[in-house]
Amino acid sequence: MRVAIVGAGMAGLSAAVDLLDASAAVILVDAAPRAGGKVVTERVDGFTIEHGPDSFVSYRPAAAELAHRFGLGEQIISVTEPRVVHLRSADQMVPLPEGMGLVLPTRLGPFVRTRLFTWPQKLRAGLDLVLPRHLGDDDIAIGRFLRHRLGPAVIERLADPLIGGIYGTSIEELSLDSVLPMLRSYERDSRSLILASLRSGRAARAGGGGSPFRTLRGGLGDLVDAVTAHLRAQPGYQERLGVAAEEASTGGAASHLRLASGEVVDCDAIIFATPAPVTARLVAGELPDAAAALRTIPHTSTAVVTLGYPPDAFSSPPIGHGFLDAGSGSASSGCTITSGKWASRAPEGSVLIRSFLPERSLALQRRSDAEVFAVVERDVSEAFGTRSEPCVRRIARWADRMPKYVVGHQDRLAAIDAAISVRPQWQLAGASYRGVGLPDVVTSGKAAAAAVVADALR
């Protein structure tokens, strides 16, 4: 069996690994000149810069398993302690209460004592303990649900910065059932979200606790390098990098993938590991209904600005892992102090900072590099007090590349699945559908590979 995989991000790479394991021949096609997709690690002047993801969670094992398989198990590292993250509002920088889960406290004491909320705001959040269940069967925006249970302050000062920061957009439009389905089960099983979260916090601490975030000592690009080295050593493997796929079609039992170079790849199956809008274009000629369904998944833009500062650039070196913006009016949704969060990311004494420009700062994302750097450098200076300029500046623009799981996402997936299922030899993978995290996209690649193998055996 010969399978074409479009998109060499982590989804496409993981599909390729499994298909070669299953003795299929694979041709991997990517428009970019290198594999890895959003995983881009650059090393410059002793700094290790991640232009895309910088970590993966340990409670979904697929990414770590891939690292172990390709000899990188020893390179997996956890975040540096202490894990202090601040929330920046218009007038203050307040540490995130200890024991915060994604939006809910897993320990009551620090939440009760935090300066982040006033007493009336804390009491309003405490109403969650007595409010009856709120959810019906339908999906709902996370913001709306949490506002009902915990009140507006928790949304604005905590939930939106935390979740919106990850998804690059506001929780007022993100789907509860696709982004945080756990909250639905919390309410169903325990009624109170806070009680359910405290209970799961106790269970997690009993199991050892600790941060779930992991990365590779040398950067996530090492995983891409290890996987591509493995693929290239397999006799059944071919790749076309720097060549976009333009159209997929079928003729009899065969599938055909036309590339921008003019080459037509003939194969038995195709895995589309491209963002949904790209996949829509590729299948539009053959499956217009699937293309229309794929176009219903919105994608937004984000930019990551990385600044490397020499030793002594700060009046006092920034401590902790960084801050999330909670309505300070800044263009950035927050900053990671990369050199404080992970070991060996910057030369001794130097500081590496990543700042994120979310959807609401789209106009700034589109300005020139120099204009963006000026804004972000001023922001970093106001937050941490710089005495000198950065020695390294980088920007990564991910235009229309961040999938948004907005309310109704599950219905959209059902419509896509129904429309594409008429071609069981065509499978979808990647971040547009069932999880944006690296473990999720690795799993999606594996599932797509398994599905084309199962179809071939039918």
Ligand X SMILES: Cc1cc2nc3c(=O)[nH]c(=O)nc-3n(C[C@H](O)[C@H](O)[C@H](O)COP(=O)(O)OP(=O)(O)OC[C@H]3O[C@@H](n4cnc5c(N)ncnc54)[C@H](O)[C@@H]3O)c2cc1C
Q: Which residues bind ligand X (CB under 6 A)?
A: 6-12, 29-32, 37-39, 52-56, 244-245, 273-275, 278, 302, 304, 398, 401-402, 430-431, 436-438, 441
> Mind giving me the DSSP string for 63-118?
HHHHHHHTT-GGGEEEPPSS--EEEE-SS-EEEPPTTB-SSSBSSHHHHHH-SSS-
Closest distance to ligand X from the beta carbon of 215 (Å): 8
Query: What DSSP character marks residue 241?
Result: E
Residue nearest to ligand X (CB): 37
Closest distance to ligand X from the beta carbon of 309 (Å): 20
Name the residue nearer to ligand X (CB basis): 87 or 257. Answer: 257
Name the residue nearer to ligand X (CB basis): 147 or 404. Answer: 404
Closest distance to ligand X from the beta carbon of 437 (Å): 4
Name the residue nearer to ligand X (CB basis): 23 or 261. Answer: 261
Closest distance to ligand X from the beta carbon of 440 (Å): 7
Q: How far is CA 311 from the centre of its chain?
A: 31
Closest distance to ligand X from the beta carbon of 83 (Å): 15
Name the residue nearer to ligand X (CB basis): 278 or 380. Answer: 278
Name the residue nearer to ligand X (CB basis): 143 or 219. Answer: 219
Task: Name residue 49's amino acid.
Answer: I
Burial environment of residue 150 by CB neighbours within 10 A (0 to 12, 13 to 18, 19 or more):
buried
User: Which residue, 116, 103, 51, 93, is CA-closest to 334?
Assistant: 93
Burial environment of residue 94 by CB neighbours within 10 A (0 to 12, 13 to 18, 19 or more):
middle
Tokens in use for 365?
């994302």
Name the residue nearer to ligand X (CB basis): 55 or 425. Answer: 55
Residue 38 and residue 402 in contact, taking contact as beta carbons nearer than 8 Å: no
User: Which residue, 224, 215, 167, 437, is CA-closest to 341?
Assistant: 215
∠ CA 360-365-371, nearest 5°, is 125
Closest distance to ligand X from the beta carbon of 196 (Å): 24
